[in-house]
Structure 1
Amino acid sequence: MSTPLPSSSPSLLAASNTARPLLATITLASPLPAASSGSTSPWSWSTISRERKVVLVVLLVLVLVAICLLLIYCKIRRCKRRRPLCSASPSIPLSSATCNFTLDQVEEFTSGFSEANLLAEGGFGRVYRGVLPNGRVVAVKRWRVGSRQGESQFWAEVEILSQVHHRHIVSLVGYCITRSELILVYELVANNTLHLHLHGEGQPTLDWPTRLKIALGSAKGVAYLHADCDPKIIHRDIKAANILMDFDFEVKIADFGLARFTSESNRHVSSRLMGTFGYIAPEHSSDGIPTEKSDVFSFGVVLLELITGRKPVFSTCNSMADGLVEWVNLVEWARPQLTQALKDGNFDSLVDHRLQNNYDDNEMACMVACAAACVHQSARRRPKMSEVVRALEGDLRLSELNDGIRSRLSILYRFWRRSDNGTSQDLGNSQRMPLATQEYGSSHYSESTASEYALHPSGLSSVGSSRRTTRDLEMGKIERESRFHRRLLSSRVMVS
């Protein structure tokens, strides 16, 4: 009989069965390893309460709404700052004849803005020569981005040139607008500027018929801006450097960066002088308001350049012995000579010596009279550009180159004569002149008008026809004014 093993005894088996559940309980109650403890995060979305979930969703929606509102606000500000495009997108041409070029296209037809294609350079940026795919040669103005003044001039030029179409105004072919580039594409006027032809070194002398052609073409361009555009436009920077010419010397007026519509002129009052020194009208420096008569003054300076061949501000050699150079304003230098030339009909001291007296006396008298009227110190007494065009074409008597005051007073005087005699009479210059002087109440108006606008008998008008009689010169200021008012009062009584 064998002896049983200790492990097989009933008591030991019972103790073993009792210990196994206890061991299992202890094992489950022990901590889990680190790897298994990370399987359930205490910050997971499922552990967040419903109230907190709602709060987080609301906050996220508010942030998104705020971002959208900020983007909309920035877009509105950008559109307002670039108002010249109005509601048009930069990707839409401003007119049927205006193209929207991409930067890659511009770089392609300028050969990557090659230095070999550089035409000019200034404070605004650079101008390059370009050739479009259809073979058309253009001028590409690449604006220097960074200054607000430069950007405002860019948008002004885009707005105005997209609406202006005239044979004597440079045409806008297209534009390119990117975040880093502002580019305008014009027709190329290949024969450079009037400034270069008049004042450039080594340039051949412009003959007199060419100068007269340039004067008339420029006058027509400015007159179109003042009278035929809707709304009317003030250029504000008429000068020889902004008058371009082709090889037939047909004129194109360019550079409208400072131009303004007349409806906006009063909103651009500034203490800063806008324009080019030597061309700025005297009244513009005092009130800062651009007007059509400011353009007329600047055009008068251009006429003086064509007549004299001198720059708007030139130097004299009188003080060279002291090592000093005296600078002279062309208008101030020319005014007394204009008066004397119109009085005696001798233009030798005034005319460009390079012409060698090869000019027509009547045509010279016409241009001198126009220049004298345009650069008049008083803006009111300057003519309209349409009147200058008529005078240069020979359709207007030069003694009538005024700002309209004399013509309005002439109408009033004709009205008085018609109501007095019952018939309409044709009044000569000698009859209209006293009325024109009575508005100012001084003999200076009549004398300066006779000397500045009347011509030598060999010209198109006569001095004697515009001078006042001795009796009128001796009349005092009070007597003349009272006589004028009596006539005006009597005409009203007769009509009533």
Structure 2
Amino acid sequence: MNFFSKERNRRRKEELFIRNGKILLERFIKSCNGKCNPIRSFSAEEIKIATNNYDPQNIITKDGYYNLYEGFLQDRQVSVMKFTDEGGAEGGFNTIVFASQMRHKNILKLIGCCLESQLPTLVFESAQRLTLANRIYSPGEPHLSLTERLKIAMEIANAIAYLHCGFPRPIVSRTIKSSNIVFHGENIAKLFDFELSMSIPEGETEIEDSVKGTDGYAAPEYVATGIFNEMSDVYGFGTLLLELLTGKRAINVNGQDESLEHRVVSLQDYVKIHIARNDFTKIIDPKIVATVLTPEMEEQLQAFPELALKCLNWSAGDRPTMIDLAKQLRNMYKSACQIMS
């Protein structure tokens, strides 16, 4: 690269840094009055080296607008969130603003970001190469036991309860799903994606926005009206609980179970059909009960869909709060640990 090319490249990075920095500052002031945890600024070259030039083999997970990479930055293992489409710019800035406010053991810690590229790039603490979706659906992965699944559910419930109750204005996630849950250290489950998150305005109890998110997780009142609040997250969490119980994806369940004689799209309907038939044990992921289903285990497992279906209540007002769910799951987890010991 000759001198003039290098100079053009340097000026372009400076222009992007100033433009993106201005946008980010405006978002910080609007969302949290500029108050957030300190985060670092990284250069585009540092991020490129950290990810081995965004090597596809280093991808932990990918979504519509971004890839999450494993990387090493200054001899420290990190996770790098790179947005791959112009449509992801909004989500990138949004994730920086919300993730930088978080201090919770079940939310992936944001270390810093790079504003020298066209789209913001985020640097988080390290995450394992497997998402929860990988652990549930990939046939080659080790089985998740009942206690492990309850632990994951409890940890994510704690994280969502923190979003709803840990700030002056409740934060609604709208991105709760198994592919947005990663693991850190000793299998600690963590949320990391806040691209669709919004704070409920002061003095209000709900928000109106265009319908976004993933089929099977979006609450019916949100899909119908574009209006949502914390109870919409509870609905998505209910779907996650059923995934943990059944080992099946949130939609198109017919394609995952040939024993169903008529078309069933939602995981919720699939579970309800089998419960009505008194076929409860048929909905349990075989990986949970690889050998014998004891009466004590069956009692624990029956509580799982009961709790999930409460979350999936058609009426938002009849769903439990995330605080209540976190407490119930903690008790279920402790009980399961005693049974398995």
Shorter-chain TM band: 0.7 to 0.9
1:108 corresponding residue in structure 2: 49
Counterparts in 2 of 1:256-335, with a 5 A limit?
A: 256-263=194-201, 269-270=208-209, 272-316=210-254, 326=263, 328-335=265-272
1:86 corresponding residue in structure 2: 29
Question: C-alpha distance in 1, partners of 2:20/2:155?
Answer: 41
2:37 corresponding residue in structure 1: 95
Deviations 1:366-412 (A, max 9, x none): 323211211111111000010111112239xxxxxxxxxxxxxxxxx
Question: C-alpha distance in 2, partners of 1:93/1:230?
Answer: 12
Instruction: Confirm or deny that 1:144 pairs with 2:87.
Output: no
TM-superposed deviation, 1:281: 0.9
Q: Give the SS at the match of 2:139.
A: coil
TM-superposed deviation, 1:81: 8.0
For the Cα contact (< 8 Å) 1:317–1:326, is it kept in 2?
no
For the Cα contact (< 8 Å) 1:238–1:298, is it kept in 2?
yes
Question: C-alpha distance in 2, partners of 1:317/1:80?
Answer: 44
Counterparts in 2 of 1:300-379, with a 5 A limit?
A: 300-316=238-254, 326=263, 328-338=265-275, 347-356=280-289, 357=293, 360-379=297-316
TM-superposed deviation, 1:146: 2.5
Counterparts in 2 of 1:469-480, with a 5 A limit?
A: none
User: Which of residues 193, 197, 214 in structure 1 aligns to 2:152?
Assistant: 214
TM-superposed deviation, 1:286: 1.4
With over 3 angstroms needed to count, the CA separation of the structure-2 counterparts of 1:145 and 1:279, relative to structure 1, is closer
Question: C-alpha distance in 2, partners of 1:352/1:77?
Answer: 46
The code of the aligned residue for 1:371 comes to A
1:388 corresponding residue in structure 2: 325
For the Cα contact (< 8 Å) 1:175–1:184, is it kept in 2?
yes
The code of the aligned residue for 1:382 comes to R
With over 3 angstroms needed to count, the CA separation of the structure-2 counterparts of 1:267 and 1:349, relative to structure 1, is closer
Question: C-alpha distance in 1, partners of 2:256/2:304?
Answer: 29
With over 3 angstroms needed to count, the CA separation of the structure-2 counterparts of 1:247 and 1:102, relative to structure 1, is closer
Deviations 1:90-144 (A, max 9, x none): xx99633x111111222232233334433344321333222121x2200111212
Question: C-alpha distance in 2, partners of 1:384/1:179?
Answer: 40
Greater Rg by CA: 1
Counterparts in 2 of 1:337-486, with a 5 A limit?
A: 337-338=274-275, 347-356=280-289, 357=293, 360-394=297-331
Instruction: Confirm or deny that 1:126 pairs with 2:67.
Output: yes
Deviations 1:414-450 (A, max 9, x none): xxxxxxxxxxxxxxxxxxxxxxxxxxxxxxxxxxxxx
Instruction: Confirm or deny that 1:192 pairs with 2:125.
Output: no
Deviations 1:225-246 (A, max 9, x none): 1112232210012111111123
TM-superposed deviation, 1:315: 3.9
Deviations 1:179-205 (A, max 9, x none): 524110011211521111111232232
Number of residue equivalences:
305
Q: Give the SS at the match of 1:316.
A: helix
Q: Give the SS at the match of 2:252.
A: strand
For the Cα contact (< 8 Å) 2:70–2:129, is it kept in 1?
no
With over 3 angstroms needed to count, the CA separation of the structure-2 counterparts of 1:179 and 1:234, relative to structure 1, is same
For the Cα contact (< 8 Å) 1:128–1:141, is it kept in 2?
yes
Question: C-alpha distance in 2, partners of 1:352/1:295?
Answer: 24
Question: C-alpha distance in 1, partners of 2:80/2:19?
Answer: 30
User: Which of residues 170, 189, 192 in structure 2 aligns to 1:251?
Assistant: 189
For the Cα contact (< 8 Å) 2:40–2:111, is it kept in 1?
yes
Deviations 1:271-310 (A, max 9, x none): x421100111111111111211110011001111111111
Could you tell me which runs of 5 or more consecutive residues in structure 2 were left unpaired when the two chains were aligned. Answer: 1-17, 333-341
Could you tell me which runs of 5 or more consecutive residues in structure 1 were left unpaired when the two chains were aligned. Answer: 1-74, 396-496
Q: Give the SS at the match of 1:142.
A: strand
More helix per residue: 1 or 2?
1
The code of the aligned residue for 2:181 comes to I
Calculate percent identity across the aligned residue pairs: 26
Question: C-alpha distance in 1, partners of 2:256/2:133?
Answer: 25
TM-superposed deviation, 1:207: 1.2
For the Cα contact (< 8 Å) 1:232–1:261, is it kept in 2?
yes
The code of the aligned residue for 2:313 comes to H
Deviations 1:329-368 (A, max 9, x none): 1112223545676xxxx84133223333267234323323
With over 3 angstroms needed to count, the CA separation of the structure-2 counterparts of 1:81 and 1:227, relative to structure 1, is closer
Question: C-alpha distance in 1, partners of 2:98/2:111?
Answer: 13
Q: Give the SS at the match of 1:301.
A: helix
Question: C-alpha distance in 2, partners of 1:319/1:221?
Answer: 32
For the Cα contact (< 8 Å) 2:248–2:256, is it kept in 1?
no
Q: Bigger shift: 165-174 or 185-194?
A: 185-194
- RMSD after superposition: 3.2
Question: C-alpha distance in 1, partners of 2:76/2:256?
Answer: 50
Question: C-alpha distance in 2, partners of 1:139/1:282?
Answer: 34
Question: C-alpha distance in 2, partners of 1:77/1:100?
Answer: 12
The code of the aligned residue for 2:189 comes to V
For the Cα contact (< 8 Å) 2:157–2:326, is it kept in 1?
yes
Q: Give the SS at the match of 2:124.
A: strand
Q: Give the SS at the match of 2:128.
A: coil
Q: Give the SS at the match of 2:282.
A: coil
Question: C-alpha distance in 1, partners of 2:73/2:65?
Answer: 23
The code of the aligned residue for 1:269 comes to E
2:170 corresponding residue in structure 1: 232
For the Cα contact (< 8 Å) 2:173–2:196, is it kept in 1?
yes
Question: C-alpha distance in 2, partners of 1:261/1:175?
Answer: 22
Q: Give the SS at the match of 1:377.
A: coil
TM-score by length of 2: 0.79
TM-superposed deviation, 1:222: 0.8
Counterparts in 2 of 1:19-98, with a 5 A limit?
A: 79=22, 83-86=26-29, 95-96=37-38, 98=39
Question: C-alpha distance in 2, partners of 1:318/1:164?
Answer: 37
